[in-house]
C-alpha cells in the first residue's frame, strides 16, 4: 500500500490526475451535453472503459480511481442525455404486452360455447352428383342482350 503512494508521489502528473479524478468523483460535476452524447453510446462507453484500463496499467492507485471515475462519468452522461430516465420510467415492451393482454381477456360467450360443442363438418360427402335437374324457364331472349 505504501509502495502505491510512493509511486504516485514520484510522478507529479499522476498525482495531479489522481486529484482531478477524485474531485470529479466526489463533487457533482455535470458532464457537458456534447461530451455526454459522445459517451452515452456503446462505442463511447467502450472507449472510456479502455482509457480507464490504460490508467490501470500505468499506476495501480490511479487505475482504480480511474475505473471509478469512468463508471461515474458513464452514469452522469446517461443522466445528462436522459437515457437513464427512459430506462427508469418508460415501460419495456414485455411490460406493455403483459398489461395489454391482461386488459384483453374477455369471457367466453354463448356463441363461442355453441360453436365449440357443434359436431364437426363432414368434408367427405361427394357433392358432384346432384339428385335434381335444373329447369330453365323462358328468358324471352334476355340472354342475347
Q: Dump pLDDT digits (tens) for 2-52.
A: 666 666 566 788 888 899 999 999 998 999 989 999 998 999 999 999 999
The predicted-structure confidence for 117-140, as pLDDT tens digits, reads as follows 887 777 777 777 777 777 777 878
Q: What is the pTM of this model?
A: 0.61
Q: What is the pLDDT of residue 135?
A: 79
Per-residue HEC secondary structure of 86-124 comes to HHHHCCCHHHHHHHHHHHCCCCCCHHHHHHHHCCCCCCC
Q: CA quadruple 122, 126, 128, 129: dihedral positive or negative?
A: negative
Q: Give the pLDDT confidence score for residue 52 in this predicted structure.
A: 93
pLDDT on residue 68: 95
Per-residue DSSP letters for 35-90? Answer: HHHHHSSHHHHHHHHHHHHHHHHH-HHHHHHHHHHHHHHHHHHHHHHTHHHHHHHS
The C-alpha cell at 92 is 419495456
- Band of pLDDT at residue 74, cut at 50, 70 and 90: very high
Amino acid at each position: 500500500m505504501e509502495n502505491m503512494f510512493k509511486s504516485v508521489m514520484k510522478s507529479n502528473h499522476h498525482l495531479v490526475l489522481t486529484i482531478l479524478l477524485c474531485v470529479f468523483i466526489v463533487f457533482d460535476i455535470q458532464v457537458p451535453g456534447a461530451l455526454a452524447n459522445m459517451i452515452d453510446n456503446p462505442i463511447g462507453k467502450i472507449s472510456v472503459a479502455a482509457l480507464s484500463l490504460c490508467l490501470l496499467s500505468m499506476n495501480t492507485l490511479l487505475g482504480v480511481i480511474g475505473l471509478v471515475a469512468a463508471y461515474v462519468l458513464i452514469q452522469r452522461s446517461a443522466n445528462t442525455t436522459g437515457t437513464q430516465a427512459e430506462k427508469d420510467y418508460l415501460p419495456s415492451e414485455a411490460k406493455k404486452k403483459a398489461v395489454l393482454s391482461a386488459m384483453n381477456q374477455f369471457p367466453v360467450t354463448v356463441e363461442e360455447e355453441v360453436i365449440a360443442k357443434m359436431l364437426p363438418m363432414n368434408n367427405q360427402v361427394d357433392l358432384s352428383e346432384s339428385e335434381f335437374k335444373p329447369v330453365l324457364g323462358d328468358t324471352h331472349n334476355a340472354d342475347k342482350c
